[in-house]
C-alpha cells in the first residue's frame, strides 16, 4: 500500500447505548481505491459521517495526511480536501445541472454582498469561469452530460443524477472522495456505465483517493484494490477482494453463509 492519506485510530462513535464504531483502526493509502463493506448497520456510513464532520467522534482520531481532523466542522474537512456523495440523492431538483455542481465549489466563490453589488464585472467573470469549469468537468466525466448543463436536475434520469452528484464532489479537486452506494436506484447496466465514468475521470484528471461503500460485489471486485469489512462497528477483514470473500468470518457476517462445522 502507498503512504497513508487517511487514518482512523481507535475511532469510536456511540449513540446512547449503541456503539456504531468500536475502536476502529483503518488506513487508506494515497491514490488507493478502497472498498468499505459490511452488512446493514455495520458502521460504514457512520464512518463517512465521522470523517466528514457530520458526527463528532466519541473517541479516537481521524488523520488526513498526518493532520488531525477529528471533530472538525464539515466545512473545515471540505477545505482540507475531502468530499463525498450520499446514498440518497441530495440534489436540488428544480435547479440546473450547473447550479447543483457549482455548489461543490463554494470555497472558491466570492458571495459577499459588496462584491456582488459593486464589482459586477468581476462577478460576471467569476460566473463565466465557473461555467467553463463545470462544463469541462462534465465533458470529461461523460460527454453527454455537458449538453445538459442548463437542464433542471429533476428532468434527468437516475444515472445522470448520480453523475451530477459525483461531479459535485469532484469540482473542488479533492484529494479524497467518499462514495456512499453510488449504484443505489440504478440498473446493473447503469451501474457499469457510472463506474466506467468514475474510473475514466480519475485517469484523466488526477488519481484521487476513493473509499466506496457498495453492496454490489461486481462493483467492488472491479473498482477496488483493497477491501475492509466491518461488522458491528469493528473491522473483521482487510485484504484483496479475493481474500475477503474467502474469509469465513466475512461469509457469516456479510454474505449470509453458515460457518463450516
Of 57-61, 119-123, 177-181, which range is least confident?
119-123
pLDDT at residue 127 greater than cutoff 80? no
Q: Assign residue 175 a region: left if phi > 0, alpha if psi is -120 to 50, beta otherwise?
A: alpha
pLDDT at residue 256 greater than cutoff 70? no
Q: Rounded to whole angstroms, how far apart are CA atoms 21 and 11?
A: 7
Segment 197-240, tens digit of pLDDT: 999 999 998 889 999 999 889 999 999 999 999 999 999 999 99
Q: pTM above 0.85? A: yes
pLDDT, position 214: 92
Of 23-27, 94-98, 118-122, 245-249, which range is least confident?
118-122
Cβ contacts of 194 within 8 Å, gap of 6 or more: 159, 162, 163, 166, 182, 183, 186
Segment 138-162, tens digit of pLDDT: 999 999 999 999 999 999 999 999 9
Q: Rounded to whole angstroms, how far apart are CA atoms 54 and 72?
A: 9
pLDDT, position 260: 44
Within 65-187, strands assigned E span: 67-68, 82-84, 176-180
pLDDT at residue 133 greater than cutoff 80? yes
Q: How confident is the model at residue 106 (pLDDT cuts 50, 70, 90)?
A: low
pLDDT at residue 104 greater than cutoff 90? no
Q: Rounded to whole angstroms, how far apart are CA atoms 216 and 221?
A: 9
Is residue 108 a contact partner of residue 172, using CB atoms and an 8 Å limit? yes
Output the CA angle 42-43-48, nearest 5 degrees.
Answer: 150
pLDDT, position 3: 79
Q: Rounded to whole angstroms, how far apart are CA atoms 255 and 261?
A: 17
Amino acid at each position: 500500500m502507498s503512504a497513508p492519506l487517511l487514518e482512523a485510530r481507535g475511532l469510536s462513535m456511540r449513540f446512547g447505548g449503541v456503539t456504531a464504531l468500536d475502536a476502529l483502526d483503518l488506513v487508506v493509502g494515497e491514490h488507493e481505491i478502497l472498498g468499505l463493506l459490511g452488512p446493514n448497520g455495520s458502521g460504514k456510513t457512520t464512518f463517512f459521517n465521522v470523517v466528514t464532520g457530520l458526527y463528532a467522534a466519541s473517541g479516537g482520531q481521524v488523520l488526513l495526511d498526518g493532520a488531525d481532523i477529528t471533530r472538525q466542522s464539515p466545512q473545515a474537512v471540505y477545505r482540507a480536501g475531502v468530499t463525498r456523495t450520499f446514498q440518497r440523492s441530495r440534489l436540488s431538483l428544480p435547479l440546473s445541472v450547473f447550479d447543483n455542481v457549482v455548489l461543490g465549489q463554494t470555497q472558491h466563490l466570492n458571495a459577499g454582498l459588496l462584491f456582488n453589488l459593486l464589482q459586477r464585472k468581476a462577478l460576471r467573470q467569476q460566473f463565466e469561469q465557473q461555467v467553463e469549469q463545470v462544463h469541462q468537468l462534465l465533458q470529461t466525466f461523460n460527454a453527454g452530460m455537458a449538453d445538459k448543463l442548463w437542464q433542471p436536475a429533476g428532468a434527468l434520469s437516475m444515472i445522470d443524477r448520480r453523475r451530477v452528484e459525483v461531479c459535485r464532489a469532484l469540482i473542488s479537486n479533492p484529494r479524497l472522495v467518499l462514495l456512499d452506494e453510488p449504484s443505489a436506484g440504478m440498473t446493473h447496466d447503469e451501474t457499469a456505465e457510472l463506474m466506467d465514468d468514475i474510473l475514466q475521470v480519475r485517469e484523466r484528471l488526477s488519481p484521487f483517493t476513493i473509499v466506496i461503500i457498495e453492496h454490489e460485489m461486481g462493483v467492488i471486485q472491479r473498482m477496488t484494490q483493497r477491501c475492509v469489512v466491518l461488522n458491528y462497528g469493528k473491522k473483521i477483514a482487510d485484504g484483496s477482494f479475493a481474500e475477503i470473500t474467502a474469509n469465513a468470518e466475512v461469509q457469516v457476517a456479510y454474505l449470509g453463509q453458515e460457518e463450516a462445522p
